[in-house]
Amino acid sequence: MEQFYEKLDELYNAGDLKAVEEFILSGIMDAGEGTVRSAGLLNELAAFYRGVSRYDESEDAFVRSMNLFESSGMGASPQYATVLLNLAGLYRIKGEADKALALFLDAIDKLEAAGASDSYAYTSVLNNTALAYQEKGEHSKALTLAEAALERMRTGDSNEHEIATSLSNLAAIHISLGDAAKADECINESLSIYDAMPSPDVHHAAALTTKAVIRARAGEHREALEGFKQATELTRHFFGENIEYAACKSNIAEVYQLLGDTASAVKEMAEATRIYERLLGKNHDTALNAKKKLLAMQSEV
């Protein structure tokens, strides 16, 4: 399996999304129908679909993975809890925070019951539960969990990219709490880790976005614009025009508006709206809000 994941990382880093999907599907076929190995690879496939915003296919693959683990007597295992965690992450991305939070808390219970409270999966679920609380506006709860997750990573054997991601998440929470200095401290450490990596990392774009938000709030609009543009290109490299890509486009539009370049703002917001409508449907709240912003910008031209 080590060779499989090394090759998969190569394909992700190359930005070849078609090859990534085909490679995982081939691995599932080679693993054999109904096997534990195929359950693990279905989780990998679901995570890929989630990344490229193919949400229905992602949910289906996560559920198939969980069903296979359950039928193999592994319904209380760390592997099952990890899939549950990833499915919850899908719901969080889709804006279903309550549904996500319920699954995150269930994953915590299952990991504790399996005696895996010292595992990477447990630390990951703490981080992700923090994000769910953040999106629900419960910032203090989010901060407590995010700090606990980061402390576990610093004292454990976590990889640098995991620490960088945790720092980026923590910075976003500090922004919500109005602590710009602490947010900047966290995101600068996160970016220094990403910048030192030999190859691009999939989570680097989120850190660039957070730094850009800090700069925009500080009135550093041109620096913020550059940061959002970098995040946009990195997101497209790894996942194509997904939800995060649309969010970057929306951020760029708002900065252009602050800079007085309404024509560019309209162009970027129109692209964001198009992607939101394609991925989520025209009646989704996110798509409707984007459309509303677009119409307001167009009225200023």
- Secondary-structure class of domain 241-301 per CATH: mainly alpha
Please check the confidence at residue 208 and state whether its pLDDT lies above 80. Answer: yes
- Give the mean model confidence (pLDDT) for residues 126-150: 93
Report the distance separating Cα 112 and Cα 115, nearest Å: 5
78 vs 187: which has the higher pLDDT: 187
- Written in H, E and C, the secondary structure of the chain is CHHHHHHHHHHHHHCCHHHHHHHHHHHHHHHCCCCHHHHHHHHHHHHHHHHCCCHHHHHHHHHHHHHHHHHCCCCCCHHHHHHHHHHHHHHHHCCCHHHHHHHHHHHHHHHHHCCCCCCHHHHHHHHHHHHHHHHCCCHHHHHHHHHHHHHHHHHCCCCHHHHHHHHHHHHHHHHHCCCHHHHHHHHHHHHHHHHCCCCCCCCHHHHHHHHHHHHHHCCCHHHHHHHHHHHHHHHHHHHCCCHHHHHHHHHHHHHHHHCCCHHHHHHHHHHHHHHHHHHHCCCCHHHHHHHHHHHHHHCCC
What pLDDT is recorded for position 18?
94
Give the distance from CA 38 to its chain's centroid: 24
Query: pLDDT digit string (tens) for 4-14?
Result: 989 998 999 88
Report the distance separating Cα 202 and Cα 244, nearest Å: 12
Please check the confidence at residue 141 and state whether its pLDDT lies above 80. Answer: yes
What pLDDT is recorded for position 174?
96
Report the distance separating Cα 218 and Cα 250, nearest Å: 19
- Secondary-structure class of domain 160-240 per CATH: mainly alpha
Query: pLDDT digit string (tens) for 211-256?
Result: 999 999 999 999 999 999 999 999 999 999 999 999 999 999 999 9
* One fold for 160-240 and 241-301: yes
What pLDDT is recorded for position 30?
93
Query: pLDDT digit string (tens) for 37-73?
Result: 999 999 999 999 999 999 999 999 999 999 999 999 9
What pLDDT is recorded for position 41?
96
What integer best gives the mean pLDDT of the chain? 92
What pLDDT is recorded for position 114?
81
- Give the mean model confidence (pLDDT) for residues 120-143: 90
Q: Which residue has the tokens 């220094």?
A: 192
What pLDDT is recorded for position 216?
95
pLDDT over 90 for what percent of the chain? 73
Q: In the chain, what are the domain boundaries?
A: 160-240, 241-301
Query: pLDDT digit string (tens) for 172-186?
Result: 999 999 999 999 999
pLDDT over 70 for what percent of the chain? 100
